[in-house]
Amino acid sequence: MLTDPLDRLATLNQPNAHTNRIVVVNIGSDIEIARRVRGDLERAFGDIIHTEGAFWRYERTCWHPIPEPELRRVVHVYDGAEFMTPAGEPSNVKLSKFRVDSVLHEMAAMMAEEDFFARAPIGINCASGFIRFMGEGLPVLEPHHQDHRSRHTLPGQWLPGAEAHPTAGSLLARLLDGVFKADDDAAQKVDLLAEVAGSAALGYATKLRQPRAIILKGETAENGKSQILDLIRSLLPANAISSVTAGRMGDERHIVGLVGKLLNAADELSSSTAIASDTFKAIITGEPVQGRDVYKSRIEFRPVAQHLFATNTLPVFQGGMDRGVQRRLQVVSFNRVIPTEERIEAIGRRIGEEEPDLLLAWAVAGAARLIRNKGFTLPQSSRTAMNDWLFGADPVLAWLSEQVEVRPLYNPEARVATRHAFERFREWAIAEGFSDRTLPSINGFVQRITANTTGVEYRRTGQGRFFFGMVLTGHTGW
């Protein structure tokens, strides 16, 4: 008896060789053959669905895409199938590449469930079962089931009551303690990384109130950020991970690589232009995007991956970083060069290979905290790094932070003529080392103020143009 689904599919691929039967159809149309192939597949695998450009079957612990060559071979069974023409004459089905494509196209329409994976329950599918998260992020373990709609199975095993903190002396503890040693907010950084790992394992990144790409920034070599990148990659199976840089997200041939992925981790951040693009913003927040594999039809899908980038330097934004970009990024600073005697070669990958259960328990704790808090932990150093990046990229924001006080609009003295504010800004910016060539015009200056300052309003009056609600620090507004 054939019990393995792959064996049953092999039987379908060559029915004549196994049963010596003649395949008979009614009219031999592409739609009829599509219905017959659908029935063959469902008898072999159970439920079959089509979404995001692929046919899927449930096998053992999760849903798997059915490889296209196997699908085509199932259709091949009907080449030569007998049927009677309307005139009552015998005829045979003659399949070509075009007709096979047509059969699969019609079968996709019959089995389409566009939001199938989007309606999955919140949980982590691992080797020991499905970890469902109840109210306030409480994890409970359930047996694997196709209704969990999981596409990946993490290699680690988890049981209720598993220790949330890395065991002292473990490779995981040594890595996390080493990279942030002596940092004032080391514990918060470790919590944040656990939440990032949990977000990836859950496929939860785009469900957050404030979806964010996480940037691991360390200017020096041997600071551990690459090992952290490998650590979070090693939590997941290889087919759940992509490596699409921000610069390639505008290319439909690369963006399709994000379909169904839980983590997108890249050792490169790309240019500020790529980060500021509408495509990048849409991908981070999980809005529908389109991509196309070579020689295949374009598909629309919603990305779910947690995005993680590593970089030595943060790109410069000419003209400033808009709020849409600011909301989608969070920086983690790596300040310590790991001493030679503390380094362990390939420690990030080794943790995944040697301590998968410990790594998973750490990520589950991070996932529970992420769900409970509805967002990532924000260490003080991350706030500082983000502000430094914003102010370094945008002299107007830097000037607002250092030279402006916002007062209530009902205060009649809290107003500054726009020309005067612009002159004061230019004096300050040039003194701070910003290039005169990169400073905005007065119109651009006014736009940057109104777009980035809550409580300040730009108005034209009979006396001129003013910012109301603004006071220049140390100077009387006029």
In this prediction, residue 294 has a pLDDT band, given cuts at 50, 70 and 90, of: low
Mean pLDDT calculated for residue range 139-166: 95
Residue 35 pLDDT > 50, yes or no?
Answer: yes
**pLDDT at residue 315, rounded to an integer:** 85
Mean pLDDT calculated for residue range 224-228: 96
Please report, for the chain, the start and end positions of each structural domain, with discontinuous segments joined by +.
5-114, 169-185+198-355+374-388, 394-472
Residue 261 pLDDT > 50, yes or no?
Answer: yes
Portion of the chain with pLDDT greater than 90, in percent = 69
**pLDDT at residue 17, rounded to an integer:** 43
Higher pLDDT, 79 or 268: 79
**pLDDT at residue 455, rounded to an integer:** 84
Among the residue ranges 20-24, 100-104, 371-375, 415-419, the one predicted with the least confidence is: 20-24
- The 10 Å CB-count burial string (b at 16+, else e) for 263-292 is bbbbeebbebebbbbebbbbbbbbeebebe
Higher pLDDT, 270 or 244: 244
Mean pLDDT calculated for residue range 275-287: 91
Portion of the chain with pLDDT greater than 70, in percent = 93
Q: What is the pTM of this model?
A: 0.84
Among the residue ranges 102-111, 147-156, 279-288, the one predicted with the least confidence is: 279-288
Residue 436 pLDDT > 70, yes or no?
Answer: yes
100-147 pLDDT, tens digit each? 999 999 999 999 998 999 999 999 999 999 999 998 899 999 999 999
Considering the four listed CATH numbers 3.40.640.10, 1.10.10.10, 3.30.365.10, 3.50.40.10, the one that applies to the domain covering 394-472 is 1.10.10.10
Quote the mean pLDDT of the chain.
90
Look up the CATH architecture of domain 169-185+198-355+374-388.
Answer: 3-Layer(aba) Sandwich (3.40)
